[in-house]
Amino acid sequence: MQQTVLWTTDLPMYEVKTSVHVRIRDTVTTCQEAAQIMQAGGLVAFATETVYGLGASVLHEEALKKVFLVKGRPQDNPLITHVSQIDQVIQLASEVSDLARALMNRFWPGPLSILFPVRDDVSRIVTAGLDHVAIRMPNHPQALALIDALGAPIAAPSANQSGKPSPTLAHHVLDDLADKIDGVIDGGACDVGIESTVIELQGDHIIILRPGRISAEDLREFGAEVSLDPFLEHHEIPSKPRAPGQKYRHYAPQGQLTIYLGDDSQKIEERIAKEAQALAQQGFKVGALVMNSDFTPNVDALFYLGSLASFTELEKNLYVALRSCDDRHIDRILAQGTPEVGRYRAFMNRLYKAAGGNVITVS
């Protein structure tokens, strides 16, 4: 068993297993201690603006291999690398196009991962053998300080057990990975709440492989020609997707999730309330994810994700709600959906994945 350190600036407000070693430190000391552990091949989870990442030095092959083992991650699913300065990109990428440079200048630090042709001397464990490497600069002071302290880019998938919703709080990471990794830096709640947008560049053209907070609309406003990887439109699981992560069932809670779609929110609410009652009568523990704070169906766990008018709130609260449903052993989760268009695409992409195709249209 691995002794896991929890670095925090204050006493944690959540329950911590007795095996976890709590160290109260300022950020500078935390990052020095964590970087030392990572230089020696350790794994440290840290907050970014999107979700918590499970970090390994890109220079440490054994640490990179351990990331896959600890998460139970399929070997063919590559890792995103994280830099703290644009200059660091050339340590990983063999080529930086003008479009890539313009995107970095405009959107970094921020939730945009860009694929670059990978240099020969970068470990192929990071890229899962592919010829491109995904790079982003996270917009979180602790993440940037940790990369600086390490003096090398950090490879980091989301810091969850493979298949579970990504962690957006330090205790989510501990729930999944305590006693398996060297440490967790508590950086508070992640602002964005869902993973970064992943894009591929083909000449002047941007292809979105995974939707995120930086939307197709944002990239078009910036002046680029943008399209979505075709499978994003169809929710089919491709056998050979360009972002291998897309073929795995992700973000899934333990309970079965059903999405309710339709033009009339009131009708959706009536349907959810009715369904919740029927399921409760059958003995199921029921949860509901709603977008109207006045709608209070009689369920075991009720989550107001935010107003339908605010995709940022919906994104921020989704994984917290899904993980709380798991904590409360909820069997059936009923969730209101939105049309999968515009800036709601990222939220709905994650909700669809959590639902594994269970969608009911209310008319």
Which residues would be at the binding site for ligand TXA (CB under 6 A)? 48, 50-51, 53, 77-80, 111, 113, 115, 127, 130, 132-134, 138, 156-158, 195-196, 198, 209-210, 242-246
Single-letter amino acid, residue 97: S
Name which position in 57, 113, 158, 215 contacts Mg ion (CB under 5 A): 158
- CB 54 within 8 Å of CB 27: no
Q: Compute the distance between CA of residue 121 and CA of residue 128 in angstroms, rounded to an integer.
A: 14
Closer residue to Mg ion (CB): 50 or 158: 158
The count of residues interacting with Mg ion (CB under 5 A) is 1
Q: Least separation, in Å, of the C-beta of 110 and ligand TXA?
A: 10
Q: What is the DSSP string of 152-212?
A: S-EE--BSS-TTSPPP-SHHHHHHHHTTTSSEEE---S-SS-SPPEEEEEETTEEEEEE--
Q: Compute the distance between CA of residue 62 and CA of residue 72 in angstroms, rounded to an integer.
A: 15
Q: Least separation, in Å, of the C-beta of 344 and Mg ion?
A: 21
**Pick from ligand TXA, Mg ion, none: which does 79 bind, CB < 5 to 8 A by kind?**
ligand TXA
**Pick from Mg ion, ligand TXA, none: which does 133 bind, CB < 5 to 8 A by kind?**
ligand TXA
Which residues face 286 on adjacent strands?
332
| Residues 25-54: x where in contact with Mg ion by CB under 5 A, - otherwise, as a string | ------------------------------
Per-residue tokens: 149: 């302290």
Contacts of 253 (CB under 8 A, 6+ apart): 165, 322, 323, 325, 326, 330, 333, 354
Closer residue to Mg ion (CB): 57 or 158: 158
Q: Which stretch binds Mg ion (CB under 5 A): 131-139, 150-158, 327-335, 353-361?
A: 150-158
Q: Least separation, in Å, of the C-beta of 195 and Mg ion?
A: 6
Q: Where are the alpha helices (DSSP H) in the chain?
A: 27-39, 61-71, 98-107, 124-127, 141-150, 170-177, 216-221, 230-234, 265-281, 311-327, 345-355
Residue nearest to ligand TXA (CB): 245
Residue nearest to Mg ion (CB): 158
Closer residue to ligand TXA (CB): 115 or 208: 115
Q: Least separation, in Å, of the C-beta of 316 and ligand TXA?
A: 13
Give the distance from CA 102 to its chain's centroid. Answer: 25
- Does residue 241 have a cis bond before it (omega within 30 degrees)? no
**Pick from Mg ion, ligand TXA, none: which does 130 bind, CB < 5 to 8 A by kind?**
ligand TXA
**Pick from ligand TXA, Mg ion, none: which does 124 bind, CB < 5 to 8 A by kind?**
none
Residues binding Mg ion (CB under 5 A) = 158
